[in-house]
Structure 1
Amino acid sequence: MNNSEIIAKTAAFIRGKFLNEGSGHDWEHIRRVWQTAATLAQHTPAAQVEVVELGALLHDVADWKFHGGDEEAGPRAARQWLASLQAEEATIQQVEAIIREISFKGLGVPTPMSTLEGELVQDADRLDAIGAIGVARAFTYGGHKGRPLHDPAVPPVSHDSFESYKKNTAPTINHFYEKLLHLRERLHTPAARAVAEERHAFMEQFLAQFLREWESADVGPAAIQASE
């Protein structure tokens, strides 16, 4: 089986597995990451495009968040799938590494990627976590986990270990300050950083509006008088 066939079969497999997933880690998220990573790879001559595409397609195949915190669930599932398609061992190992390394693990935890291909997939995944879609996905996941929107009494935490980050149950708004607002500075490629500027600005505007409405500042006496 050639690389194109392996990629096509993997896309069909992942689409079937995640089509109706309800936490924001669904097929459409994976499709966007796949598309973005492939585009970044096309503009990166040294990248192995097939590894980038497979890494993007399989990056959430068994996310630790839904497998009891097991960080090896994803690499194991990817190996099993690719081996069933008789993919080359070198390709399987590279995809395993991407899945093992890609996750954000806490604001105080470095998450370097060991390969260029991994950097491209990580950039694509992080771009999908910011901007308008990133905002929507954050609240979708928060609702999926039963978390409140916001609680001013619960301050954001700069997690300094992956174990601390995995145990986090804070309100969804905290997620912006603990992760999403810091992704722009952790991107690898100039193209991804350029895209991130507008998306980052949108999140800042959203948060300002959200907090203003939370405190009802925009429906105070002055606002009501101005509307009359």
Structure 2
Amino acid sequence: MNKNEALTKTETYVRQKLEGEGSGHDWWHIHRVRNTALKLAEKEQADLFIVELAALLHDIADHKFHEGDEKIGPATARKWLEHLDVREPVIKHVCDIIGDVSFKGAEVETPMKTVEGKVVQDADRLDALGAIGIARAFAYGGYKERELYNPEVSPEPHHSFEEYKSSIGPTLNHFYEKLFLLKDRMNTDTGRRLAEKRHHFMKEYVNRFLAEWKGND
């Protein structure tokens, strides 16, 4: 199977599986991440085929929806790519990216080994920032039946992936526990530039949210 056919089949597979999902991890998240990753890949001279496959499959079985199982994503991607007869070195590379791409806690390092992994991780993190990032945060919080905000519950600097996965804090805490940290964890110059703008917008939003909460608007 040639590369274009593999990508077309993968897009169809992912879209059918994730379309209409309501937590912010839907097909359109994948679509945005794929497009951003390809733009970054061109600037970073990364392998476009590996980047696109990894971006399309990076949330095919997210641990958040599979009882915290961090191995199910790479395993599901591997099964699909083997079905397409993709070469083993490509499968391994894509699965390694999927296994490492996610944020795993404020005190947990998640370095990417390859330029392809770096651009996919940046693209995924950029979609967690800015106006869309805010919308996705509250969509996920609603999906998990979490409070918008509770001033009696402080954000936690999670020291392990297990702590992060088990967090049940209000959605606004997520900005301090993850989203505000992403700007300084970008891998590429373009990613850092885009993250800076989106980070600033989110900071303004949270300041406004807290002002309205306190009746100081």
TM-score bracket, shorter-length normalisation = over 0.9
Q: For 2:77 and 2:54, how far apart are their aligned partners in 1? A: 9
What is the aligned partner in structure 2 of residue 191 from structure 1? 190
What's the secondary structure of 1:108's corresponding residue?
A: coil
**How far has the Cα of 1:13 moved from its partner?**
0.8
**How far has the Cα of 1:60 moved from its partner?**
0.1
Q: For 2:122 and 2:162, how far apart are their aligned partners in 1? A: 23
What is the aligned partner in structure 1 of residue 153 from structure 2? 154
The TM-score, its normalising length taken from structure 2, stands at: 0.99
Q: For 1:12 and 1:42, how far apart are their aligned partners in 2? A: 24
How do 1:22-101 and structure 2 match up within 5 A?
A: 22-45=22-45, 47-101=46-100
**How far has the Cα of 1:217 moved from its partner?**
1.3
What is the aligned partner in structure 1 of residue 178 from structure 2? 179
Q: For 1:20 and 1:99, how far apart are their aligned partners in 2? A: 22
What whole-Å deviation, never above 9, does each CA across 1:165-218 have from its counterpart, x for those lacking one? 000000000000000001000000001111111101100000000000011112
What is the aligned partner in structure 1 of residue 142 from structure 2? 143
What's the secondary structure of 1:53's corresponding residue?
A: helix
What is the aligned partner in structure 2 of residue 225 from structure 1? none
What is the aligned partner in structure 1 of residue 19 from structure 2? 19
Q: For 1:164 and 1:2, how far apart are their aligned partners in 2? A: 42
What is the aligned partner in structure 2 of residue 6 from structure 1? 6
Q: For 1:197 and 1:42, how far apart are their aligned partners in 2? A: 21
Q: For 1:98 and 1:67, how far apart are their aligned partners in 2? A: 19
C-alpha RMSD over aligned residues: 0.6
Q: For 2:196 and 2:74, how far apart are their aligned partners in 1? A: 32
Q: For 1:81 and 1:189, how far apart are their aligned partners in 2? A: 29
**How far has the Cα of 1:115 moved from its partner?**
1.3
Aligned AA (2:13): F
What's the secondary structure of 1:217's corresponding residue?
A: coil
What is the aligned partner in structure 2 of residue 102 from structure 1? 101
Check whether the contact 2:44–2:115 (CA below 8 A) recurs between aligned residues.
no
Aligned AA (1:181): F
**How far has the Cα of 1:139 moved from its partner?**
0.1
Q: For 1:41 and 1:99, how far apart are their aligned partners in 2? A: 16
Q: For 2:100 and 2:113, how far apart are their aligned partners in 1? A: 8
What's the secondary structure of 2:44's corresponding residue?
A: coil
Aligned AA (1:22): G
What's the secondary structure of 1:169's corresponding residue?
A: coil
What is the aligned partner in structure 1 of residue 205 from structure 2? 206
Q: Structure 1: which 5+ residue stretches go unaligned?
A: 219-228
- List, as ranges, runs of 4+ consecutive aligned residues in structure 1 with deviation greater than 2 Å: none
Q: For 1:112 and 1:37, how far apart are their aligned partners in 2? A: 17
Q: Which has the larger radius of gyration?
A: 1
What whole-Å deviation, never above 9, does each CA across 1:52-91 have from its counterpart, x for those lacking one? 0000000000000000111100001000000100000011
The TM-score, its normalising length taken from structure 1, stands at: 0.94
What is the count of residue pairs matched by the alignment? 217
